[in-house]
């Protein structure tokens, strides 16, 4: 209820017309001015806190989207294909399909087999047995990004990518179709999701990875040791950068003291090979210059003063209010899912972890909750239960809460 509604509600309860007019004048002449003044001061305080306690994830947020391969242009300065980030890192599947339906329809097929008739550029193969699973290459891309965040000393925030779990790979584990043949036409015999398949789709994000040749490392002395500076030219000064190298140790990047568009990667050891550069594009680099097939998703947060204060705290207050604060912070989740309850249940099974879909940060190795049988059940109310990304959004929120809690394995439930 807003201020205007509160005033009118109080005024209507007065039956005497003179008293009603008197209350109206008092509320609008006195209390409205006081309320406006209080609100302005509160906003000023929030701005001060924002300047004094910056968002540690600002400019490192990850945006994801889906596009038809034929409609996507590699000339875009913001969107990049996720598969290019880890080319060759995962064994390619025979087929990759995108199914635009809810997880409850996809789950029965994960790690199961279906039959397919496949035609390639060299032959035709009938009744081929294919195993269904989530696309591994996108999981490997997120895992590599996490490794870069870690080695560059940046705090990690779970990637909100519901599209990733709509991409399914069909693997010819029997080796019937030769690996050097290219599939041109296929037909699935016993796959109940045919009507949801969108062909030739690709996953996008605002992360660009490329190898850069640095100049010869320059050695310079410090108080305790000699360090090496590797100068790299950059094109997009508004973007954020992460680095990796075979020989880089205890390194960091900083803007060059005298040269524009140059970042110096300073390391305890020299790197004489190419340095891998990971660029996280900012919105000013062309976010709106391309229209994806579905509305983009991100892990951007609405940073209120309470969130900024909480981010500076040493320990996570294990309370329902704090878990609720985390779950309500993400802009692209909004009112789609609302936390309604938290409970401890040792008997509940995490059935929605099928196919490694439930834990979006399963590659983080420092967790201790696997030693325990205890489950922390997070219950959510869904604003729209027909949303095909509902379960994936819940996985994102649960995975974010799990980052703060080691004593329990977090489990999500939509009620």
**Which among 189, 247, 408, 197 has a CA at the least distance from the CA of 316?**
408
Residues 6+ apart with CB under 8 A from 167: 96, 97, 98, 134, 135, 138, 201, 203
Rg (CA), the chain: 26
**Which among 214, 228, 197 has a CA at the least distance from the CA of 95?**
197
Q: What is the pLDDT of residues 109-157, one digit of tens each?
A: 999 999 999 999 999 999 999 999 999 999 999 999 999 999 999 989 9
Q: How far apart are CA 193 and CA 110, in angstroms?
A: 12
Residues 6+ apart with CB under 8 A from 404: 316, 326
Q: What is the pLDDT of residues 187-216, one digit of tens each?
A: 999 899 999 999 899 999 999 999 998 878
Q: How far apart are CA 162 and CA 197, in angstroms?
A: 16
Q: What is the pLDDT of residues 293-333, one digit of tens each?
A: 899 999 998 877 667 666 666 667 788 989 998 999 999 99
Given the structure tokens 């980052």, which residue do they identify?
Answer: 403
Confidence of residue 87 (pLDDT cuts 50, 70, 90): low
Identify the burial level of 352 via C-beta atoms within 10 angstroms of its C-beta, where 0-12 means exposed, 13-18 middle and 19 or more buried: buried
Q: How far apart are CA 31 and CA 338, in angstroms?
A: 33
Q: How far apart are CA 298 and CA 281, in angstroms?
A: 13
Q: How far apart are CA 99 and CA 96, in angstroms?
A: 10
Q: How far apart are CA 373 and CA 315, in angstroms?
A: 23
Q: How far apart are CA 369 and CA 408, in angstroms?
A: 5
Q: How far apart are CA 307 and CA 52, in angstroms?
A: 13
| Ordered DSSP codes for 15-70 | -SHHHHHHHHHHIIIIIHHHHHHHHHHHHHHHHHHHHHS--TTTT---EEEEEETT
DSSP type of residue 13: T
Query: Encoding tokens for residue 229?
Result: 């500076």
What angle (nearest 5°) sits at the alpha carbon of residue 297, between those of residues 296 and 300?
A: 130
Q: Is the pLDDT of residue 262 over 60?
A: yes
For residue 30, the tally of other CB atoms under 10 A from its CB is 10
Average pLDDT across the chain, whole number: 86
Q: What is the mean pLDDT of residues 331-339?
A: 92
- With b for 16 or more beta-carbon neighbours within 10 A and e for fewer, the 93-108 pattern comes to bbbbbbbbebbeebbe
DSSP type of residue 155: P
Given the structure tokens 């279906």, which residue do they identify?
Answer: 114
Q: What is the pLDDT of residues 68-84, one digit of tens each?
A: 999 998 888 999 999 99
In three-state secondary structure terms, 157 is coil
Query: What pLDDT, on the 0 to 100 scale, is given for residue 118?
Result: 94
What's the length of the chain? Answer: 415
């Amino acid at each position: 209820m807003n201020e205007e509604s509160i005033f009118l509600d109080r005024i209507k309860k007065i039956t005497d017309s003179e008293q009603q007019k008197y209350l109206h004048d008092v509320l609008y002449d006195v209390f409205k001015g006081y309320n406006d003044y209080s609100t302005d001061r509160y906003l000023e305080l929030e701005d001060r806190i924002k300047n004094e306690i910056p968002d540690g994830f600002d400019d490192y947020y990850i945006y994801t989207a889906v596009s038809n391969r034929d409609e996507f242009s590699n000339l875009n300065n913001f969107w990049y294909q996720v598969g290019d980030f880890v080319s060759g890192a995962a064994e390619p599947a025979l087929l990759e399909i995108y199914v635009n339906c809810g997880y409850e329809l996809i789950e029965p097929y994960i790690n199961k087999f279906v039959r397919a008739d496949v035609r390639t550029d060299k032959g035709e193969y009938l009744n081929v047995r294919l195993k269904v699973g989530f696309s591994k290459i996108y999981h490997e891309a997120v895992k590599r990004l996490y490794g870069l965040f870690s080695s560059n000393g940046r705090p990690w925030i779970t990637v909100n990518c519901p599209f990733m779990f709509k991409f399914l790979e069909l693997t010819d584990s029997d080796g019937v179709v030769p690996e050097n043949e290219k599939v041109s036409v296929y037909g699935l015999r016993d796959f109940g999701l045919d009507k949801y398949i969108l062909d030739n789709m690709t996953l996008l994000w605002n992360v660009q990875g490329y190898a850069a040749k640095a100049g010869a490392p320059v050695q310079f002395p410090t108080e305790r040791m000699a360090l090496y500076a590797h100068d790299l030219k950059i094109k997009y000064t508004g973007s954020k950068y992460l680095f990796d190298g075979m020989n880089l140790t205890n390194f960091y990047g900083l803007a060059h003291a005298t040269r524009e568009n140059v970042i110096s990667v300073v390391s305890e050891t020299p790197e004489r090979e190419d340095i891998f550069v990971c660029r996280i594009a900012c919105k000013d680099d062309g976010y709106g210059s391309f229209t994806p097939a579905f509305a983009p998703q991100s892990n951007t947060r609405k940073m209120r003063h309470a969130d900024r204060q909480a981010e500076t705290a040493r320990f996570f207050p294990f309370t329902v209010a704090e878990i609720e604060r985390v779950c309500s912070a993400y802009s692209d989740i909004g009112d789609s899912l609302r936390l309604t309850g938290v409970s401890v249940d040792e008997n509940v099974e995490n059935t929605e972890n099928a196919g490694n879909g439930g834990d979006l940060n399963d590659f983080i190795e420092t967790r201790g909750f696997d030693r325990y049988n205890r489950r922390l059940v997070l219950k959510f109310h869904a604003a729209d239960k027909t949303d095909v990304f509902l379960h994936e959004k819940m996985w994102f929120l649960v995975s974010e809460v799990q980052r703060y809690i080691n004593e329990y394995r977090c489990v999500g439930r939509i009620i």
